[in-house]
Amino acid sequence: MSTGVNLKELAAELKLSPSTVSRALNDSYEISEATKKKVISMAEKLNYQPNPFARSLRENKSKTIAVVIPERMSSFFSKVVDGIEEITQQFGYHLLVYSTHEDVDREKKIVNLLMNGRADAIIMSVSSQTSDISHLTRLHERGFPLVFFDRICSDIPTTKFITNDYESGFEGTKHLIQQGCRKIAFLMLSKELSITKDRYRGYLDALKQAGLSPEPQLNITCCQDEEQNIEAIKQLLTGPNRPDGILSSVEKLALATYHAVKRTHLRIPEDIKIISFFSNLSIASLLNPSLTTITQPAFTIGEECAKLLMKKLTKPRQPDLPNQLITIPSKITIRSSTIVL
């Protein structure tokens, strides 16, 4: 297959020993400048590419990071991965990307496969079904570098990158209240998710501050089937206890809401106002009416995850990843879905 020259052949060509050539290519002080030059030029000429597996085996590192996300069709996760790649690529690291499809069993399989050292670290956001986290604690206890972002596991003492979920939930709700909403629904993927909990706390506190009481019927837990979600939201909108505002905690549920509204006679924002965590600004402004968004700094989150790991992995004796929660704020952009002109 990839039958380029190897170190031994290169050395033979140069009439040097493999060790000398290796050292020359790795710029060792033990090798004279003259031989280094010769070696390097010959390596270029023969297009020598070191075998990554031989190297990985010897050095016990793969120069590979695994990224585990719940889904690919999401502008948030796409941007995070872009951010990660932007940094890791500069360090010559490669990215194994896995999607769990929000399925905890797939997540477990993936994580277990990763324990054999194929990757030097994992950056992940857990699936919405993940409640048993034994697969993750095991990984972490073995000293495997693990970084969470967005949907984190608080119980695992490592570094996590999130946005200001609580504040954003609070401010988003407050904004709806300021626009006159009194009955605000909260849309979520799963009650277990860290982002759900934090955003929901913000939502509750904003209600409380405004003297509004939360109503359990206004909380909708959605599933993986878009059609089902749309129908559930439609039921809510056409039911006896119709909300006048909606805070959607994830992108896809905002889209489901727009679909649901289309199936009713309701108007946005006159009858129902909508705000959502949302990362695709282009789409947000194209929706009809344009969607008021809480924009997460997806790309930056990815970059920060990667920067931290690169620091740990490329420098010699680095400490374990600290048990730390790093918050990068979101930005609320008010558009037409919450403003009656």
Which chain residues interact with a copy of itself by CB under 8 A? 1-4, 49-54, 56-57, 60-62, 64, 72-73, 75, 78-79, 81-82, 85, 94-99, 113, 115-118, 120, 142-145, 226, 255, 258-259, 262, 280, 282-283, 285-288
**From DNA, a copy of itself, none, which one binds at residue 295 (CB under 5 to 8 Å depending on kind)?**
none
**From a copy of itself, DNA, none, which one binds at residue 183 (CB under 5 to 8 Å depending on kind)?**
none
- Across 219-254, b (16+ Cβ under 10 Å) vs e yields bbebeeeeeebbebbbebbeeeeebbbbbbbbbbbb
3-state class (DSSP) for residue 243: coil
Applying CB under 7 A, does 179 fall inside the site for DNA?
no
Nearest approach in angstroms of CB 118 to a copy of itself is: 5
Nearest approach in angstroms of CB 259 to a copy of itself is: 7
Is 172:247 a contact under the CB 8 Å cutoff? yes
Of residues 222, 286, 213, the one with CA closest to residue 256: 222
For DNA, the closer of residues 41 and 51 by Cβ is 51
d(CA 93, CA 108) in angstroms, rounded, equals: 24
Nearest approach in angstroms of CB 186 to a copy of itself is: 21
CB within 8 A of 55, min separation 6: which ones?
none
Applying CB under 7 A, does 37 fall inside the site for DNA?
no
For a copy of itself, the closer of residues 168 and 336 by Cβ is 336
Lookup result for tokens 């030029």? 41
- Encoded tokens for 263: 């199936």
Subset of 43-102 contacting DNA (CB under 7 A): 48-51, 54-55, 57-60
Applying CB under 7 A, does 118 fall inside the site for DNA?
no
For 25, the enclosing helix (H) or strand (E) is: helix 18-25
Give residues in contact with DNA (CB under 7 A).
6-8, 15-20, 22-23, 25-26, 30-35, 48-51, 54-55, 57-60
